């Protein structure tokens, strides 16, 4: 099944409404300078990173992105952006199509921490999807007892399976890992586009989400 255009379930937060950037700010809290057209959110190079006004703890998120065609560019200069979960943990966005063994900086990597298990990239200009289940760090009596964990599907393929993150990644919004945080999208100077961004907050552990039938 194609993972694109997945509909948000009941209770999901529509992070991008498809019409404008009113729900987004810069890192400093100023109005976002990116452009929304026809249901698509476009990076405006030089406008800076943007982040959602909503903050998230544990969540499932769906997001779709499109990298520009930059045939002369190489490496980190080729359709670069990033998706920062809670503003702290970067999932790389890059045109890594055709790379046999993806590395720590390729598309789908947890930047400089974990390379994708497989390269699930589609070619430049094709829409692609990320689906991520994120579990925030756990604390007891104010002490960190377990770091963040995530599972990530890229275009329907598992590329990270319940991994334990090694702390925040570079260029994190902050290191307040005991608090919820926004979704942050990176302006790396390339014309990357996003659409269909929503998140479903997950219930606290131990809560009852349904009544079993007997």
Q: How many domains, the chain?
A: 1
Please tell me the predicted confidence (pLDDT) of residue 62: 98
Does residue 72 fall inside a structural domain?
yes
- Asked, for residue 156, whether it belongs to a domain, the answer is no
Q: What is the CATH number of the domain that holds 184?
A: 2.60.120.560
122 in a structural domain: yes
Among the listed residues 116, 102, 106, the one whose alpha carbon sits nearest the alpha carbon of residue 161: 116
Q: Rounded distance, CA 185 to CA 139, Å?
A: 27
**Is residue 77 classed as helix, strand or coil in its secondary structure?**
helix
pLDDT for position 2: 74
Domain residue limits at 62: 13-129+177-196
Q: Tell me whether residue 2 is in a domain.
A: no
The answer to whether residue 4 sits within a structural domain is no
Strands 40-42 and 81-85, by their bridges, are unpaired
pLDDT, mean of each 10-residue run, the chain (214 residues): 85 98 98 98 98 98 98 97 98 98 98 98 98 97 96 98 98 98 98 98 67 46
């Amino acid at each position: 099944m194609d993972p694109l255009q997945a509909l948000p379930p009941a209770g999901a937060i529509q992070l991008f409404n498809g019409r404008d950037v009113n729900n987004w700010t810069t890192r400093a809290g100023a109005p976002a300078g990116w452009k929304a057209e026809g249901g698509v959110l476009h990076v405006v190079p030089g406008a800076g990173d943007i982040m959602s006004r909503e903050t998230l703890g544990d969540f499932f998120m769906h997001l779709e992105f499109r990298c520009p065609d930059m045939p002369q560019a190489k490496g980190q200069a080729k359709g670069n952006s990033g998706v920062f979960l809670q503003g702290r943990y970067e999932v790389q966005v890059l045109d890594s199509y055709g790379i046999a063994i993806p590395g720590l900086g390729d598309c789908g990597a947890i930047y400089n921490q974990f390379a994708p298990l497989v390269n699930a990239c589609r070619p430049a200009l094709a829409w692609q999807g990320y689906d991520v289940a994120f579990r925030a760090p756990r604390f007891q009596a104010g002490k960190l007892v377990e770091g963040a964990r995530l599972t990530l599907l890229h275009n329907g393929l598992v590329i990270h399976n319940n991994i334990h993150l090694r702390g925040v990644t570079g260029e994190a919004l902050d290191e307040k890992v005991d608090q919820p945080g926004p979704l942050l999208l990176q302006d790396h100077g390339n014309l990357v586009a996003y659409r269909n961004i929503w998140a479903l907050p997950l219930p606290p552990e131990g809560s009852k989400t349904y009544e079993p039938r007997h």
